[in-house]
Structure 1
Amino acid sequence: MFKTLKRAVLLGGAAAGGAAVFYLTADTDTQMAIASATGPLLRMLDPELSHVIAIQATARGLMPRDPRPDPPSLATKVFGLSFPNPIGLAAGFDKNAEAVAGLMGLGFGFVEVGSITPRPQPGNPSPRVFRIPELKATINRYGFNNLGADAAQDHLAAFEKAAAADPSIKRGPLGVNLGKNKSSKDATQDYCIGLTRLGQHADYIVINVSSPNTPGLRALQGRKELEALVKQVKGTRDRMLWGPSGPPPLLIKVAPDLSEPDKRDIATVALGCGVDGLVVSNTTIQRPGEVAKYPAATEAGGLSGAPLFPMSTQVLSDLYRLTGGRLPIVGVGGVGSGEDAYKKIRAGASLVQLYTAFAYEGPALIPAIKRDLAACLARDGFKSVEEAVGADHPDIARPKGQAGGGRGAAGGRKSWWW
């Protein structure tokens, strides 16, 4: 029996070694497909555990790296920053900035980490993530669970050191998304602390006032509250010492659950206070369409994924109109294909982020979206992403150079790891 067991172990090791050699020597698309095919195994696990495993695998270099150049039509400049492509990873995936290098290597044009709070906090009790695979949707009530600003600062410093040694690691800009601690009585102070500790590591900063999972947070989207918050955070930023490139652009992330007066107030504050851009949108507390018939719909939390696309895109379009196309917008919510990304861009997005679709489809989705987006642009005669921004608003003349500006200047399938 011992000989039989030993032979089985040796054969298993040889098979694993052979599989590893095949993976490492395969072309990029094959590696992406293999990585994405791990979905059935991860689906056997709790959604949050799957998330943790995905982060750790990416942080340890176990995900494929896509070194191929992007189609020239996808290169764009926003906030004075150069993006190799407009497809980014939204905040919420890498909450602690642990896997930035691996995520950049997958081919994203930019990566946003967070939300990060000044102090560590565990978030809401588990279970707090629920799949609706039939609709490519999820509901989560994480509640800004993260290791805090000090840990994130250490991780970002380590990433910068690695990128300095190998410039190819940092493919595109890095955004840092800031939140407030649940127990904090002074939200403004929390955002200022986050900016002070992490701003030097960020190409842009996002003030997240739109998560539905922190009590009272969305109240900060009111005109009076938002204006006071933005003025103080922006003032803190402008008083800090920065390098030759200046301070990082400051963006506000808003919810999709906004009334018309809410949208007007946000547009007024953003323009009046010199915000550099908007991120539209976060998850929704609504349960639109077919979502309501699934058991997970009764769970509290924010809905993300395909069902969010119509709502978030409409809010994006409305805010583009209300700001007269004068502020770059990052479009988020339900993006799962190149056509989806293109619709966001035509509605007014200069950049596009995804999250839930990445969880369902895996790494192979990223090159597919980029290929399809390039095809959409060519199909409609656009030579670049910038030419297509706001194309659904022919009555709005975009100010020349809106996508540029100085850094910090005013202006149905099964899941992969969920």
Structure 2
Amino acid sequence: MTPSLASALMPLMRGLDAETAHGLALRGLALGLAGRDGAADAPRLATRVLGLEFRNPIGLAAGFDKDAVAVLPLLRLGFGFVEAGTVTPRPQAGNPRPRLFRLTEDAAVINRMGFNNAGLDAYLARLQGLARPLPGVLGANVGVNKEGADPERDYPALCRAVAPHADYVTINISSPNTPGLRDLQGEERLASILDAVAPRALGKPVLVKLAPDLAEDALAPIIEVCVANGVAGLIISNTTIARPDTLVSPNRTEAGGLSGAPLFARSTEMLARAHRLAGGRLALIGAGGVSSGAQAYAKIRAGAGLVQLYSGFAYGGPALIGRIKRELSDLLARDGFAHVADAVGADA
């Protein structure tokens, strides 16, 4: 099967409950049923970020493959990188179902999954079993359990466990679906966690994933804490608990984090602010509402060295990846950029 054919079959999945469809899609991917993208990426899309070489800047955000069951098939679809997780120290079931909702009319998704995953041991076993070298960069996204968590204990242990098996590690302190997690974004608490993690000693780049709902004056202190503690980059942003007035789907009132098209403007504005504040001291990954090459390009021009998809991929399917890369390459060529890195922060 080709990515285009896999995408053509996706409307059939939309007749199913969203979480059931997601589970079936992951199983199909793990079996290689989505095929692979055999086209070579345009040379201008290759980039170096976080000290790592990416064949293109388009990645899959954490949350899609929580248990790292389909890393290799996902990379074969054409992503430049895949971020697996969020993984927690112990397995947990997450929140009661239903907990994943399509907002089709808004090209959006609401989730309140609650870090459902099979736990660190199962996750590590899958990472260790991957055939190397991988055809792209692998990120590991880590979080804490809902019950019995000790962030200063758990985040360092998680980072040390996954670092030998991933190219970078992301500390998730911004999911809205684990009570108290977003409180860890406070300047003092984040400094305490990062001091315990000791990113400079980990041997792999460490990133922090932030929420788009931070107060405007909170971003600068967080950036300074991250820089001071050796963090390599930020992912901007996670889902939002805000509900724009433009939402029309019947599911718009569901609790949880909103992702997809309604998040694009908010997350891109935050990304641009982070780019100005960081002044080149942190790599930035732009996430939130990307479903076209033009939107990926906007993230890059706002300051993102890399871009992640989630809801756009869920709606558009595997064929979306190649389309975004082609559109992005054409836009770079149109504006005279020989390499994608040349366009980073062009609108700053």
Determine if the TM-score, normalized by the shorter chain, exceeds 0.5: yes
Q: Does 1:182 align with 2:146?
A: yes
Q: Does 1:68 align with 2:39?
A: yes
Residue 90 of structure 2: which of 99, 103, 119 is its match? 119
Superposed, 1:254-269 pairs within 5 Å as 254-269=210-225
Letter in 2 for 1:330: I
Q: What RMSD over aligned residues (CA atoms) do the two structures have, in Å?
A: 1.1
Contact 2:105–2:249 (CA under 8 A) maintained in structure 1: no
Superposed, 1:366-377 pairs within 5 Å as 366-377=321-332
Contact 1:184–1:190 (CA under 8 A) maintained in structure 2: no
Q: Does 1:302 align with 2:257?
A: yes
* Post-superposition CA distance 1:149-176 (Å, at most 9, x none): 00000111111xx23xxx4xx2211000
Deviation at 1:326, TM superposition (A): 2.1
- Paired with 1:51 and 1:216, the residues of 2 have a C-alpha distance of 27
Deviation at 1:184, TM superposition (A): 2.4
Residue in 2 that maps onto 1:344: 299
* Post-superposition CA distance 1:250-303 (Å, at most 9, x none): 000000001122111111111221210001000000011311x43312111000
Q: For residue 337 of structure 2, give the secondary structure of its aligned residue in structure 1.
A: coil
Residue in 1 that maps onto 2:20: 49
Gaps of 5+ in 2: none
Residue in 1 that maps onto 2:62: 91
Residue in 2 that maps onto 1:381: 336
Return the index of the structure with the highest Cα Rg.
1
- Paired with 1:303 and 1:125, the residues of 2 have a C-alpha distance of 18
Q: Does 1:200 align with 2:193?
A: no
- Paired with 1:171 and 1:288, the residues of 2 have a C-alpha distance of 38
Q: Does 1:273 align with 2:237?
A: no
Contact 2:238–2:288 (CA under 8 A) maintained in structure 1: yes
Deviation at 1:317, TM superposition (A): 0.6
Deviation at 1:69, TM superposition (A): 1.4
* Post-superposition CA distance 1:345-385 (Å, at most 9, x none): 00000000001000001100000000000011111111111
Residue in 1 that maps onto 2:123: 152
> How does the TM-score come out when normalised to structure 1?
0.82
Residue in 2 that maps onto 1:243: none
- Paired with 1:197 and 1:323, the residues of 2 have a C-alpha distance of 29
> How does the TM-score come out when normalised to structure 2?
0.98
Letter in 1 for 2:245: G
Which segment drifts farther, 147-156 or 192-201? 192-201
- Paired with 2:152 and 2:73, the residues of 1 have a C-alpha distance of 32
- Paired with 2:152 and 2:101, the residues of 1 have a C-alpha distance of 31
- Paired with 1:97 and 1:32, the residues of 2 have a C-alpha distance of 20
* Post-superposition CA distance 1:223-246 (Å, at most 9, x none): 0011111111126x71x6xxxxxx
Residue 80 of structure 1: which of 41, 51, 54 is its match? 51
- Paired with 2:149 and 2:308, the residues of 1 have a C-alpha distance of 31
* Post-superposition CA distance 1:49-70 (Å, at most 9, x none): 1010011110111111112210
The count of corresponding residues between Structure 1 and Structure 2 is: 348
Please list every run of at least 4 consecutive aligned residues from structure 1 whose deviation after the TM superposition is greater than 2 angstroms: none
Letter in 2 for 1:195: C
Letter in 1 for 2:304: A
With a CA cutoff of 8 Å and minimum separation of 6, indicate the structure with the bigger relative contact order: 1
Gaps of 5+ in 1: 1-22, 24-30, 241-246, 394-418
Deviation at 1:188, TM superposition (A): 2.1
Q: For residue 289 of structure 1, give the secondary structure of its aligned residue in structure 2.
A: coil
Contact 2:104–2:249 (CA under 8 A) maintained in structure 1: no
